[in-house]
Amino acid sequence: MITTTQANEAAIDARGLIMSFGSFHALDGLDLSVRRGEILGLVGPNGAGKTTFIRVVAGLLRPSGGQIHVLGGRPGVQVATRIGYMPQTPALYDDLPVVDNLVFFARLFGLSREQARRRADEIVDIVALGPKARTLVRDLSGGMRQLASLGCSMVHDPKLLLLDEPTVGIDPVLRLDLWQHFADLNADGTTIVLTTHVIPEAERCDRIAMIGSGRVIALGTGDELRERAGRQNLDEAYIALRDAAPREGER
Amino acid sequence: MSWSRVTAIAGRIVRQFRHDRRTVALIIVVPLAVMALIGYLVGDSGKEPLPVAVVNLDEGGTSPVGTVNLGEVFVRSLRDQDSIEVRAFETGPGAEEAVRDGEVAGAIELPSDLSARLAAGEGVELTVAVTGTNPSLTGPVVGAVQTALRETAASIPGGEGAATGGVRIRTVSLEGVPGLTTIDYYAPVLVAVFTFFFTFLLTSVSFLRERASGTLDRLMASPVSRLDVELGYLLGFLGFAMLQTLIVLGYATFVLHVEIAGPLWLVLLVLVLLVIGSVNLGIPLSFYARNELQVVQFIPLVLLPQIFLGGLVWPVETLWTPLRWLSQAFPLTHATAILRDVMLAGAGLADVWPRLVALVAFDVATVALGVVVLRRQRA
């Protein structure tokens, strides 16, 4: 049963999040609240802190400072069952068929052997890899690997899907397919947080969080951000908003 | 051939090494460590003496220049050797008991007519009793006896060298089954080393791939526990590792005709425990390797100290005390000792259980280490 407070609660709530690697701050006081049921795009250049944020949310990194709540709890094993994580590289077992990868990850999330098999069959159809279900991952094209990787992240029907650069290196046709998948998942109630360094692509998200130097520079819909920056396209808007953002020590 | 392309390739390799400091460090450290160990082991300094039981029954004899007691000369000469610690025993059976109990590496009995016969230029047979299951102990004892004999002979007035021509050293194995050959002696070592080596290689490279491919991230983002990962790896590799082990053991038994005097189940139990430790050691160590090259360089670091210090070739008993303690932490030390006792001397569970406990302790420690190291992969 979902209580009112749970329903109103943010899917991800990060306050003053800091992640340091030695003297380098990959996250430098990041504040971000992701609403339940939205698709949020994290945009910014390489090294802005997008992947670090995703890894903190996924429970792979322990933040050096600040607070983070994910689906009402601390990142970790307890909330992990409700999170799907798709790493930047298609992290799959190359020497296993697609369907075996899906079954494996499904079983890690607690599905029985039988349930996992049924779910794997559903997923290969959803991500349109039906004819390739028995193909070894190493024999798939780059795009198909990405689809298989997406499949592995959603095999346990997560409430929150974290996608790290899901469309990188994908041809335009497949990219449209992927976005269709995201939209379908979202329509079923899944909250999606994805990163991309192709900023205009994030236009398809409900909201965009512009990330730079480990902080959120600006947050809003594509139209809002363009208007705020007074620019025609999102790339230019990013640069304008970044340059206008308070520098270190001015905050 | 294009010289500029050749130099381009060569230059690239050198430059890559400049960015892989760990590999460069290993390139320097590994041979230094290996040579230092070998230098120490084959050298004379820094070693603890090997205890040897001596029963001197010699009653002395008369030579052309007066009475002599060559037995005393022999014992004194043995005492003067740094590599040997002489322990005097009253009777032969008492000394042999000490050999069986592992208190001494060998027992030498000097007959009552030693001086008399040598002075008279007659032949004498010296019996050196050893365990017979550990060739690394036999060599140093026999070598010391030979040296002492040479010095004893030199002390005979007017009879330098000539007298020892009639002395024969007979080595008697107290524990090994009769008719052991070199391959019998080394089979337990080979089985243990290859079991450990193959398994370690298999798991450390597999786990490195798991980390490098990013699947470990996926694993760690799931509700799987660190112990689940450890045990899953163990179970997955156990079958393959044991298959390899059985091939080595089977080849030794059926093709090389190595005898297994003791219970086979005990041999297999030791090998299973060794495999478990090896799988679990591969996981944490693969975390300290960034690529396959570094994993391969870990192999000598992990394997050679165990081979050198674990009593596989050189006796543990003569090691500098801290090194001897260190050797007790190595799984191969215990596995080889048990396999030798069981395969060569027919030892049973009652004889080897303390070393089995040590192997189990190593396994538990490596699982714990793996769980600790996996913690770094998750918040």
Please give, rounded to a whole number of angstroms, the shortest distance from the CA of A231 to a CA of chain B. Answer: 38
How far apart are the C-alpha atoms of B50 and B76, rounded to whole Å? 16
Whether residue B135 is contained in a domain is answered as yes
- Read off the pLDDT band of B234 (50, 70, 90): confident
B215 at A interface, C-beta within 8 A:
yes
Whether residue B216 is contained in a domain is answered as yes
As beta bridge partners, residue B173 has: B130
Q: Is the pLDDT of residue B303 over 80?
A: yes
Give ipTM to 2 decimals: 0.87
Contact B222 A108 (CB under 8 A): yes
B88 at A interface, C-beta within 8 A:
no
Determine the structural domain holding residue B137 and report its residue range: 50-173
Q: Which range (A97-101, A207-211, B176-180) has the least confidence?
A: B176-180
Residues B187 and B324 in one domain: yes
A91 at B interface, C-beta within 8 A:
yes
pLDDT tens digits, residue range A115-148? 999 999 999 998 889 899 999 999 998 889 999 9
Whether residue B3 is contained in a domain is answered as no
As beta bridge partners, residue A33 has: A13
Q: Is the pLDDT of residue B225 over 90?
A: no
Residues B112 and B131 in one domain: yes
Q: Is the pLDDT of residue A89 over 80?
A: yes
Q: Where is the domain boundary, B173, B190, B223?
A: B173
Contact B213 A92 (CB under 8 A): yes
Average pLDDT over residues B298-310: 88
CA-CA-CA-CA torsion for A203, A205, A206, A209, nearest 10 degrees?
A: -80
> What is the per-residue pLDDT for B32?
85
Long-range contacts of A76-81 (CB under 8 A, 24+ apart): A76/B378, A76/B379, A77/B223, A77/B225, A78/B223, A80/B221, A80/B222, A80/B223, A81/A109, A81/A110, A81/A156, A81/B223
> What is the per-residue pLDDT for B92?
85
Q: Which range (A121-135, B55-69, B342-356) has the least confidence?
A: B55-69
Whether residue B26 is contained in a domain is answered as no
Instruction: Report the residue from A83, A91, A108 with minimal CB separation from B224.
Output: A108
Whole-number percent of chain B with pLDDT over 70: 95
Contact A87 B220 (CB under 8 A): no
Residues B348 and B227 in one domain: yes
B377 at A interface, C-beta within 8 A:
yes
Q: Give the HSE-up count for residue A163: Cα atoms under 13 Å, Cβ half-sphere.
A: 34
Q: Is the pLDDT of residue A4 over 70?
A: no
Whole-number percent of chain B with pLDDT over 90: 16
Q: Which range (B101-115, B153-167, B180-194) has the least confidence?
A: B153-167
SS3 B45: coil
Query: Would you report the helix, strand and coil content of chain A in percent, each value rounded to 5?
Result: 40, 25, 35
B179 at A interface, C-beta within 8 A:
no
A104 at B interface, C-beta within 8 A:
no
Hey, what amino acid is at A245? A
- Between A235 and B17, the higher pLDDT residue: A235
Q: Is the pLDDT of residue B179 over 80?
A: no
- Strand A207-212 vs strand A215-220: parallel, antiparallel, or unpaired? antiparallel
Average pLDDT over residues B192-208: 88
Residues B115 and B202 in one domain: no
Q: Is the pLDDT of residue B65 over 90?
A: no
Residues B253 and B168 in one domain: no
Residues B278 and B156 in one domain: no
Whether residue B95 is contained in a domain is answered as yes
Residues B265 and B340 in one domain: yes
Hey, what amino acid is at A142? G
B227 at A interface, C-beta within 8 A:
no
- Between A219 and B168, the higher pLDDT residue: A219
A211 at B interface, C-beta within 8 A:
no
Whether residue B29 is contained in a domain is answered as no
pLDDT tens digits, residue range A6-16? 546 799 999 99
Contact A87 B377 (CB under 8 A): no
Contact A108 B217 (CB under 8 A): no
Contact A59 B379 (CB under 8 A): yes
- Read off the pLDDT band of B157 (50, 70, 90): low
- Strand B84-88 vs strand B50-56: parallel, antiparallel, or unpaired? parallel
Mean pLDDT for chain B? Answer: 85
Q: Show residues of chain A in contact with B224, CB under 8 Å.
A: 108
A44 at B interface, C-beta within 8 A:
no
> What is the per-residue pLDDT for B164?
52
Q: Where is the domain boundary, B114, B144, B173?
A: B173
Rounded to the nearest 5 degrees, what angle is found at the Cα of B218, between the Cα atoms of A131 and B282? Answer: 110
Cβ–Cβ < 8 Å for B112, B79: no
Contact A76 B219 (CB under 8 A): no
CATH of the domain at B56: 3.40.1710.10
DSSP assigned state of B76: H
Q: Where is the domain boundary, B151, B173, B195?
A: B173
Average pLDDT over residues B31-52: 82
Residues B216 and B249 in one domain: yes
Contact A110 B223 (CB under 8 A): yes
pLDDT tens digits, residue range A217-246? 999 999 999 999 898 888 899 999 888 877
Number of structural domains (chain B) is 2
B225 at A interface, C-beta within 8 A:
yes
Whether residue B12 is contained in a domain is answered as no
SS3 A25: strand
B379 at A interface, C-beta within 8 A:
yes
Q: How many CB atoms lie within 10 A of CB A233?
A: 13
> What is the per-residue pLDDT for B165?
58
Pick among A85, A108, A153, A156 to test the B interface (most B CBs inside 10 A): A108
Average pLDDT over residues B301-311: 88
Helix spans in chain A (H): 4-8, 50-57, 77-80, 98-108, 113-126, 142-153, 172-187, 222-229, 234-244
Residues B105 and B197 in one domain: no
> What is the per-residue pLDDT for A251?
47
Residues B210 and B293 in one domain: yes
Q: Show residues of chain B in contact with A52, CB under 8 Å.
A: none
Contact A152 B378 (CB under 8 A): no
Whether residue B357 is contained in a domain is answered as yes
- Strand A191-196 vs strand A207-212: parallel, antiparallel, or unpaired? unpaired
> What is the per-residue pLDDT for A3?
46
Of these ranges, A168-177, A195-204, B332-341, the one predicted with the greatest mean pLDDT is B332-341
Please give, rounded to a whole number of angstroms, the shortest distance from the CA of B366 to a CA of chain A. Answer: 23
> What is the per-residue pLDDT for A1?
44
Q: Is the pLDDT of residue A208 over 50?
A: yes
Whole-number percent of chain A with pLDDT over 70: 95
Q: Is the pLDDT of residue A215 over 80?
A: yes
Residues B214 and B345 in one domain: yes
Cα dist. A35→A69, A166, B57 in Å? 12, 20, 96
A93 at B interface, C-beta within 8 A:
yes
How far apart are the C-alpha atoms of A221 and B322, rounded to whole Å? 68
Residues B166 and B210 in one domain: no
Hey, what amino acid is at A32? L
